[in-house]
Chains A and B, each alone.
Chain A
């Protein structure tokens, strides 16, 4: 299983509703509880607002709202994953973080085309671990994509 180091991916697995997603652990800065945010006027609903992360203004995205999965309740168990993508710090709200796992290349399948809930462009593949299916997300590509409205569109 550990034969091919290059394709082994260490993932942080989190839950959105009944689905399990995995992101590259190297992109993760920290995990924290959900704090009160300052909401941004006229922003998409899935952008909850910004928080003060030790002096930095960090936007918070609720992936549950964005993907339309899970029940969007904010309680003491709600988790925010702070990630670092393309020199930016952002937070994503998820239902919960389950574990950190290593996925070998033979456990990966390419994702079939599926609906508009999640564009397959951001799916690196599907991982299978003991009857669990983990959707491998290219979090960098996803967070900097135009429909997330987190990053200014590059001026032509």
Chain B
């Protein structure tokens, strides 16, 4: 029977990516001075799991790097090596390299051989330099008779650990015998070659101590609790002189267990075990068994660690579902909502007395549909921590590159938002974070000179506000420089004046090709500009605002709707057309009185709303529609707020409030200026959803001709 491995490989890739992510997160949280043992265990476990998976699927390059990483982590968690900041850096880079290698195996790009070589070397040097006491040890290895194996592979494997010499092809009982001069412990050597040959056949002689797996067998036979090794009895039975082993058998052979404590450095368990050693009793056998069966014992330790660890990925049960399936479900529910509202609308025409039962059924359908819709929607919701989690690393790397001290704080990471946003949000967010670090925060010297603490604060915050999710990136840095932005704007020929309110000045940095950076640095000034950030956020139906104060800091707030797929809207009519305005943009609606409407410069009209003059924009003018309502008094003015600006939109009539399923217009058509999407109304007709942010801009171009010239 053949098993299709590809399905498991996909799972391995997913899991490995998760492990790498948790590895990174844990490393970043790690207090180098006083590392939390449980965190160290969790880090080790992540590396170990990747290695295990990689070995299973035959990704040898991955196995190699993770093996070295794992060894070093193992030594650190057993406090055999002191954790140092350089190590954390190296681990992080190792994570990056592994990520590249994973991507390469997935067929995306190619792994950087040099980087792999470098990181392997670096990790290995960390492992080596901390054991100056470890002189080269001569070890002789004997391989027992048994199945044929590739001796060249074995020699090559051993050669990685030290110098291999005296390769002899011996008698039938010990067909191979060789010496290795190495810094590694016998246990490490044993473990490294057990991949190639069953451990029962290996006998390593290291000075006085002879190490091989047969001790286990001895333990088994005396105890016979573990039947697993019984399979190998044949090979082992032919093996004499094995019992001197570990020195646990004090009564039998080596009299000093102290030698062991120094020599067996791979086994952290020895201190505890050694205490029991002086009294060899039959009960001891399982104790001996434990350190040898290292993997299983590690697992128990790790599992305990995982239970206590705060970041436990197995605590809540979940299933992996492809996004397409969820999207499909959402589409179907969307259709159901439309059908339901169609039914509801038609049911209104029926006589409630005659059709009482039908009407109550329709009412129940409405409730059920809404609940179904809500639960399907919640499938798509994910905590924003999926986006936030990538920033600790970014901030750390950038801060060290820019010589700045930054403390990153994250608030409201559990705020949920649509998965569609999660993916689209990371690019603009990265840009904002980079900007804050590069342009916002000052260097420690400057900060101290200004009387601020040397360490700057960068805060990522997410919260709900009304029907929106607000994500803020704020820093306590220098703030935006009004003068510089204005002079830059003049340089580029923008129409600006010194009396512009701050909020308008800040919005200038979102103009295409506008960079306030005095010089292009490694960090910013290449590629994406703030205009792209704004475009990305607008494409999600969101908007961005800036608050900034010189010397105090700045805050960029991104405001996004709760979900991409469904929104609450107000339907309005202009001539014979029907449009939907998202409720979130509507401040109020009013019936204009002629006395409140004034004209400005002979062209644009303004409306006085309680002392505030707002530009009055007629939708029929923006969309070039024939209108039946000629007088402002016959229609309705809707006060809209978008991007910090208010306008009054003049329409013929307000029809009502609906929850509408947003359909993407770009699936089959292109983007239409002023239209955010389309929806299907209860009668099956298509209605467009207005893009208020764009509409406000379009309105300005219509009422103020000089802006149109500028854009051209």
Q: How far is A57 from B662 in the complex, measured between Cα atoms in Å?
A: 11
Q: Is A151 positioned at the interface, with any CB of B under 8 Å from its CB?
A: yes
Q: Is A38 positioned at the interface, with any CB of B under 8 Å from its CB?
A: yes
Q: How far is A42 from B671 in the complex, measured between Cα atoms in Å?
A: 12
Q: How far is A151 from B668 in the complex, measured between Cα atoms in Å?
A: 8
A152 touches B686 (CB 8 A): no
Q: Which of B334, B623, B687 sits near A38, CB closer than 8 Å?
A: B687
Q: Chain B residues with Cβ under 8 A from A150's Cβ?
A: 669-670
Q: Chain B residues with Cβ under 8 A from A38's Cβ?
A: 577-578, 678, 685-688
Q: Which residue in chain B gives the minimum CB-CB distance to A47?
A: B669
Q: Is A149 positioned at the interface, with any CB of B under 8 Å from its CB?
A: yes
| Distance from B442 Cβ to chain A, minimum over Cβ atoms (Å) | 36
Q: How far is A55 from B665 in the complex, measured between Cα atoms in Å?
A: 12
Interface members, chain A 96-150 (any B CB < 8 Å) = 149-150
Q: Which residue in chain A gives the minimum CB-CB distance to B686?
A: A38
Q: Chain A residues with Cβ under 8 A from B686's Cβ?
A: 37-38, 49-52, 57
B623 touches A55 (CB 8 A): no
Q: Chain A residues with Cβ under 8 A from B675's Cβ?
A: 40-41
Q: Chain A residues with Cβ under 8 A from B622's Cβ?
A: 41
Q: How far is A32 from B577 in the complex, measured between Cα atoms in Å?
A: 24
Q: Chain B residues with Cβ under 8 A from A88's Cβ?
A: 667-669
Q: Chain A residues with Cβ under 8 A from B688's Cβ?
A: 38, 40-41
A41 touches B665 (CB 8 A): no
Q: Chain B residues with Cβ under 8 A from A151's Cβ?
A: 669-670
B625 touches A41 (CB 8 A): yes
Q: Chain B residues with Cβ under 8 A from A52's Cβ?
A: 680, 684-686
Q: Is A89 positioned at the interface, with any CB of B under 8 Å from its CB?
A: yes
Q: Mark A60-82, 1 if CB is under 8 A from B, else 0.
A: 00000000000000000000000
Given known A50-B686, A52-B684, A55-B680, contact A41–B674 (CB-CB < 8 A): yes
Which of A38, A41, A57, A59 has the most CB atoms of chain B within a 10 A radius of its CB?
Answer: A41
Q: Chain A residues with Cβ under 8 A from B623's Cβ?
A: 41-42
Interface members, chain B 657-684 (any A CB < 8 Å) = 663-675, 678, 680, 684
Given known A59-B668, A90-B668, contact A39–B663 (CB-CB < 8 A): no
Q: How far is A151 from B577 in the complex, measured between Cα atoms in Å?
A: 24
Q: Is A56 positioned at the interface, with any CB of B under 8 Å from its CB?
A: yes
Q: Which of B668, B671, B672 sits near A41, CB closer than 8 Å?
A: B672
Q: Chain A residues with Cβ under 8 A from B667's Cβ?
A: 56-57, 88
| Distance from B103 Cβ to chain A, minimum over Cβ atoms (Å) | 26
| Distance from B446 Cβ to chain A, minimum over Cβ atoms (Å) | 39
Q: How far is A151 from B671 in the complex, measured between Cα atoms in Å?
A: 8
Q: Is B335 positioned at the interface, with any CB of A under 8 Å from its CB?
A: yes
B668 touches A152 (CB 8 A): no
Q: Is B642 positioned at the interface, with any CB of A under 8 Å from its CB?
A: no
| Distance from B675 Cβ to chain A, minimum over Cβ atoms (Å) | 7
| Distance from B139 Cβ to chain A, minimum over Cβ atoms (Å) | 64
Q: Is B499 positioned at the interface, with any CB of A under 8 Å from its CB?
A: no
Q: Chain A residues with Cβ under 8 A from B318's Cβ?
A: none
Q: Is B127 positioned at the interface, with any CB of A under 8 Å from its CB?
A: no
Q: Mark B302-339, 1 if CB is under 8 A from A, else 0.
A: 00000000000000000000000000000100110010
Q: Is B6 positioned at the interface, with any CB of A under 8 Å from its CB?
A: no
A50 touches B665 (CB 8 A): yes
Which of A36, A52, A89, A152 has the most CB atoms of chain B within a 10 A radius of its CB?
Answer: A52
Q: How far is A39 from B574 in the complex, measured between Cα atoms in Å?
A: 12
Q: Which of B335, B624, B666, B669 sits near A55, CB closer than 8 Å?
A: B335
A89 touches B624 (CB 8 A): no
Q: Which of B666, B668, B670, B685 sits near A58, CB closer than 8 Å?
A: B668
A57 touches B684 (CB 8 A): no
A50 touches B624 (CB 8 A): no
Q: Chain A residues with Cβ under 8 A from B685's Cβ?
A: 36, 38, 52
Q: Chain A residues with Cβ under 8 A from B664's Cβ?
A: 57
A57 touches B577 (CB 8 A): no
Q: Which residue in chain B gives the minimum CB-CB distance to A151?
A: B670
| Distance from B668 Cβ to chain A, minimum over Cβ atoms (Å) | 5
Q: Mark B619-630, 1 if CB is under 8 A from A, else 0.
A: 000111100000
B672 touches A43 (CB 8 A): yes
B687 touches A41 (CB 8 A): no
Q: How far is A156 from B524 in the complex, measured between Cα atoms in Å?
A: 21
Q: How far is A102 from B118 in the complex, measured between Cα atoms in Å?
A: 64
| Distance from B691 Cβ to chain A, minimum over Cβ atoms (Å) | 11
A56 touches B687 (CB 8 A): no
| Distance from A147 Cβ to chain B, minimum over Cβ atoms (Å) | 13
Q: Chain A residues with Cβ under 8 A from B666's Cβ?
A: 152
Q: Mark A15-47, 1 if CB is under 8 A from B, else 0.
A: 000000000000000000000111111110000
Interface members, chain B 330-352 (any A CB < 8 Å) = 331, 334-335, 338
Q: Chain B residues with Cβ under 8 A from A57's Cβ?
A: 663-665, 667-669, 678, 680, 686
Q: Chain B residues with Cβ under 8 A from A51's Cβ?
A: 686
Q: Mark B567-585, 1 if CB is under 8 A from A, else 0.
A: 0000000000110000000
| Distance from B306 Cβ to chain A, minimum over Cβ atoms (Å) | 45
| Distance from A92 Cβ to chain B, minimum over Cβ atoms (Å) | 13
Q: How far is A52 from B687 in the complex, measured between Cα atoms in Å?
A: 10
Q: Chain B residues with Cβ under 8 A from A40's Cβ?
A: 672, 675, 688
Q: Chain A residues with Cβ under 8 A from B670's Cβ?
A: 149-152
B665 touches A39 (CB 8 A): no
Q: How far is A88 from B672 in the complex, measured between Cα atoms in Å?
A: 16
| Distance from B593 Cβ to chain A, minimum over Cβ atoms (Å) | 28
A55 touches B668 (CB 8 A): no
Q: Chain A residues with Cβ under 8 A from B663's Cβ?
A: 55-57
Q: Which residue in chain A gives the minimum CB-CB distance to B678?
A: A57
Q: Which residue in chain B gives the minimum CB-CB distance to A85?
A: B668
Q: Which residue in chain B gives the minimum CB-CB distance to A39?
A: B577
Q: Chain A residues with Cβ under 8 A from B673's Cβ?
A: 42
| Distance from B581 Cβ to chain A, minimum over Cβ atoms (Å) | 14
Q: Chain B residues with Cβ under 8 A from A37's Cβ?
A: 686
| Distance from B470 Cβ to chain A, minimum over Cβ atoms (Å) | 29
Q: Chain A residues with Cβ under 8 A from B678's Cβ?
A: 38, 50, 57
Query: Can you report 28 A-B residue pairs in the complex whose CB atoms are below 8 A from each other?
Result: A36-B685, A38-B577, A38-B678, A38-B686, A38-B688, A39-B577, A40-B672, A40-B675, A41-B622, A41-B625, A42-B623, A42-B624, A42-B672, A42-B673, A43-B672, A50-B665, A55-B338, A55-B663, A56-B663, A56-B667, A57-B663, A57-B664, A57-B667, A57-B668, A57-B686, A89-B668, A90-B668, A150-B670
What are the 5 closest A-B residue pairs judged by CB atoms, nearest first? A41-B623, A152-B670, A38-B686, A59-B669, A57-B678
**Given A41-B624, A50-B665, 15 extra CB contacts under 8 A:** A38-B578, A38-B686, A39-B577, A41-B675, A49-B686, A51-B686, A52-B680, A55-B663, A56-B667, A58-B668, A88-B667, A88-B668, A150-B669, A151-B670, A152-B671
